C-alpha cells in the first residue's frame, strides 16, 4: 500500500510515518511534501501510484485546499490538522477522516480501518472508482437558516442573515437582530455551534457567537486578545480570548 504525506512539519510527518509502520509494516510512504506548490508538482506525475493521502491543512505556503484548485485528486484523503474549523471543507474534497493533532495511534488505527471498510464496500459494489463511493458519503451538510421566536402572542421566523449575533445570558440564549431586537430562542450556544454555518458564524467566547457581517471593527486588545465592535452596541464587550485569536484570524481571513 502506497501513501503520500503532505505535511510541513517534518517531526509530525516522521511521527505519522512511524505510526503507519506500526499499523502495517507493508505500508510504503512514497513522499513527504511540505508545501502546496511541491505537492502539486509531485501529484502531477505520481498521483496514480498513491492509494491514500495524509494531508495537513496549514502548509508553509498556504492552505492545502489550494492544491485541489490546480489538480484533480481522485484519491481518498485523511486530513491531519491542529484546527477543527475546516472539517466541512475537508469533506468536500474526498476526505474520509479528519484527525486533530496531536495524532495518536488509536486515532490513526480508526481512520485506517474506515479506509479499508470503504475500499471493501467499493469493491463489493463493483465500483470502478473509489471517488464514486466518497461522493456518496460526503454529502454537504445543511446548516440552519432560520429560527422561530416568540414576540408577545405572535410567532415569527428570523433568518440567520438578519441575526448579528447569538449570546447567552444566564441559562438562556438570545439573538440580536439587525433591527436591534433581542429575542430568546430555545437553544444553547453549544448546540448552535453545530447548527450554524462556520463560514458565517464564529464562537468568540463563552457568551457570544458572532456573524461576520455584523463586525464593523476589530481592535488589538490587552494580553494578545481582540475586541470586536458590531453594528449594534452591546452590554458586554465581545472579547476574543487569547486561545481563540489564531482561529478567529483564519476565519476572518476566509478561504
Domain ranges of the chain: 2-137, 146-253
DSSP annotation of 202:
E
Beta pairing partners, 227: 219, 239
Other Cβ atoms within 10 Å of 226 Cβ, number: 19
Question: 85 vs 65, 186, 223, 242, 254, CA distance in Å?
Answer: 13, 25, 24, 17, 11
146-253 has which CATH code? 2.40.50.1020
**Whole-prediction pTM value?**
0.52
C-alpha 63/C-alpha 255 separation (Å) is 8
Task: Please report the pLDDT score of residue 244 as a whole number.
Answer: 86
* CATH class of the domain comprising 2-137: alpha beta
DSSP helix/strand/coil, 77: strand
Q: What is the pLDDT of residues 36-70, one digit of tens each?
A: 999 999 999 999 999 999 999 989 899 999 999 89
Comparing 11-25, 122-136, 148-162, which segment has the lowest mean pLDDT?
A: 122-136
Q: Averaged over 172-190, what is the pLDDT?
A: 91
C-alpha 211/C-alpha 208 separation (Å) is 10
* Sheet strands (E) in the chain: 2-6, 28-33, 52-56, 58-59, 62-63, 77-81, 95-100, 146-151, 154-159, 163-169, 172-177, 182-185, 201-203, 208-211, 215-220, 226-230, 238-240
Amino acid at each position: 500500500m502506497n501513501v503520500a504525506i503532505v505535511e510541513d512539519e517534518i517531526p509530525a510527518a516522521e511521527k505519522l510515518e512511524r505510526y503507519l509502520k506500526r499499523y502495517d509494516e507493508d505500508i510504503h510512504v512514497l513522499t513527504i511534501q511540505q508545501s502546496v506548490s511541491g505537492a502539486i508538482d509531485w501529484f502531477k506525475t505520481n498521483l496514480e501510484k498513491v492509494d491514500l493521502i495524509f494531508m495537513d491543512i496549514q502548509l508553509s505556503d498556504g492552505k492545502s485546499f489550494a492544491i485541489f484548485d490546480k489538480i484533480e485528486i481522485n484519491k481518498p484523503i485523511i486530513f491531519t490538522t491542529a484546527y477543527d474549523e475546516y472539517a466541512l471543507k475537508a469533506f468536500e474534497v474526498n476526505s474520509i477522516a479528519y484527525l486533530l493533532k496531536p495524532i495518536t495511534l488509536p486515532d490513526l488505527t480508526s481512520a485506517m480501518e474506515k479506509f479499508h471498510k470503504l475500499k471493501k464496500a467499493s469493491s463489493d459494489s463493483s465500483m470502478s472508482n473509489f471517488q464514486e463511493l466518497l461522493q456518496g458519503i460526503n454529502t454537504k451538510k445543511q446548516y440552519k437558516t432560520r429560527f422561530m421566536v416568540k414576540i408577545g402572542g405572535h410567532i415569527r421566523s428570523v433568518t440567520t442573515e438578519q441575526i448579528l449575533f447569538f449570546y447567552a445570558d444566564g441559562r438562556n440564549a438570545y439573538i440580536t437582530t439587525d433591527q436591534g431586537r433581542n429575542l430568546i430562542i430555545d437553544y444553547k450556544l453549544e448546540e448552535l455551534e453545530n447548527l450554524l454555518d462556520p463560514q458565517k458564524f464564529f464562537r468568540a467566547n463563552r457568551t457570544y457567537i458572532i456573524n461576520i457581517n455584523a463586525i464593523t471593527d476589530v481592535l488589538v486588545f490587552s494580553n494578545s486578545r481582540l475586541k470586536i465592535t458590531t453594528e449594534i452596541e452591546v452590554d458586554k464587550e465581545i472579547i476574543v480570548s487569547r486561545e481563540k485569536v489564531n482561529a478567529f484570524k483564519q476565519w476572518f481571513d476566509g478561504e
